Amino acid sequence: MYIGGEWREAISGQRREVRNPATGETVGSVPVCGREDVAAAIDAAHAAFRPWADLTAQERSEPLRRAFEILVERKDEIARIMTLEQGKPLAEAKAEVLFAAEFLRWYSEEAKRVYGETIPASAPHKRILVIRQPVGVVGAITPWNFPVSMLTRKIAPALAAGCTVVLKPADYTPLSAVALFRVLEDAGFPPGVVNLVTGKGSVVGAEFLENPKLGKITFTGSTEVGKQLIEGSAKYVKRISMELGGHAPFIVFEDADLEQTVDACIASKFRNAGQTCICANRIYVQDTIMDRFAAMLAGKVKALKVGNGMEPGVDIGPLIDWEALEKVEQQVQDALSKGAKLEAGGRRYVREGLNGAFYEPTVLSHVDESMDICSVETFGPVAPLIAFRTEEEVIAKANATEYGLASYVFTRDLGRAFRVSERLEYGIVGVNDPLPSVAQAPFGGWKESGLGREGGRHGLEAFLEIKYISLGLNG
């Protein structure tokens, strides 16, 4: 763990092993923190806060920029670590490291644009100023599916705003976080500005909620855990940002470019073996093109290569654990028992030398809303196809969920593209675009998919408090 500028063991001395989900082999170990370690990290961040916040924006931007450069230089090494502990194909891991680096670069620039306002006063001898100030020490909790980019998407804006950070990565993927913190160390942040603790979410979460020196919690993970943190934060009115689960509709109209849309559907659905919060969960296809779309998609999906992410040419790695695989199997069985038709895949993938939880990329047609897969986040490589007839009907179906993170529309009709995107109850709409995440845009969900935004100038707001100064000019 990295606390106050030093690498430390847990006070208890406990460590746990990290496993490769493709092979089951041990790839490393990390300390298991207790609350006392988390409190020590918060103390370090608290001590570092004032001097860091008092630097000029230009001074804060410099180590952020250096971190960007070092992360890019180390992309191959860090991508390897990521694939070993998370399982995604090496090419995807490299792309993620570069994506992660973009947050450091973008916020190194945006650090200089934390502007205030002046407001016309109600009396001639008064002036009204509004300034934005850092919220204080930030506690960040991140998931395993993007082990580096979800970290920089929080750390970079927090540091740019003048906050200091204590971060807890997911239990499955702490080694990528350690590699990232070595980058931050080498970039020259003062001791205590960035701190890393590894250990159980519930232990860290409890300390984050109850420690009065911590001003804000920023969380990315499941809606279930997010709700627990929201509830816990009420007692202390602790500032929170939540990036939670999703159930993305992917809507294909009959006028879409079919070849491109099938490729886009594969990119959205099967990236990271379907384990992303914004991947297509319900694929709505207009009934007039359903048979062609299903056949084209199934044909391409059958050609995807499953295997260890370290092997060249692999498209689909393992699921993170056996529980995740069982959830996928249950959803496929449930759908088949209620009348869905298997177009591709539908089984575990077994090969000598692979001991992980692999599942064949799968396409199901004749799916309807009675099936679990239409309402429960899948987090696996299964593409369910649902037919629709009209624009009105598909908008209503797409919005009939408690989630509201990402959505997708494929059409060549500009009017329809606007009409549908404006009516979708989602924080993100990809129009003919399966990969909408970029550093400069506000990422986040409506409804139970979250609170607040990450990325872009909106992502900086999450780490700033507003202060209004009423200034009397003494006559």
Residues with catalytic roles: 243, 277
CB of 399 to ligand NAP, least distance (A): 18
Nearer to ligand NAP, 202 or 474 (CB): 202
How many CA atoms are closer than 13 Å to the CA of 27, on its beta-carbon side?
20
CB of residue 151 vs ligand NAP: minimum separation in angstroms? Answer: 11
Which of the 8 DSSP states describes residue 200? -
The helix (run of H) or strand (run of E) holding residue 471 is: strand 464-472
Rounded least distance, CB 467 to ligand NAP, Å: 29
Q: Which is nearer to ligand NAP, 169 or 346 (CB)?
A: 169
Tokens of 230: 């929201």
Distance set, CA 101 to CA 106, 153, 175, 199, 390 (Å): 9, 9, 17, 25, 42
What the block records as the tokens of 16 is: 């746990």
- Identity of the residue, 5 or 232, whose beta carbon is nearer to ligand NAP in the bound complex: 232
63/246 with CB nearer ligand NAP: 246
Q: Least CB distance from residue 219 to ligand NAP, whole Å?
A: 7
State the minimum distance, in angstroms, from the CB of residue 298 to ligand NAP: 26
Min CB(173)–ligand NAP separation in Å? 8
Helix axes 149-161, 174-187, angle to 10 degrees: 40
Distance between CA atoms of residues 316 and 361, nearest Å: 8
Nearer to ligand NAP, 318 or 450 (CB): 450
Please provide residue 155's backbone torsions phi and psi, each rounded to the nearest 5 degrees: -65, -45
Question: CA 151 to CA 159: how far, in whole Å?
Answer: 12
Give the interface with ligand NAP as residue ranges (CB under 6 A): 141-146, 150, 168, 170-171, 200-202, 205, 220-222, 225, 228-229, 243-246, 277, 377, 405, 445, 450
- The residue at minimum Cβ distance from ligand NAP is 201
List b or e across 348-368, with b for residues whose CB sees 16 or more CB atoms inside 10 angstroms.
ebeeeebbbbbbbbbbbbbbe
Spatial separation of the C-alpha atoms in residues 252 and 224, rounded to whole Å? 30
Q: Which is nearer to ligand NAP, 184 or 242 (CB)?
A: 242
Q: How far is CA 182 from CA 18, 177, 195, 414, 472, in A?
A: 18, 9, 11, 47, 49
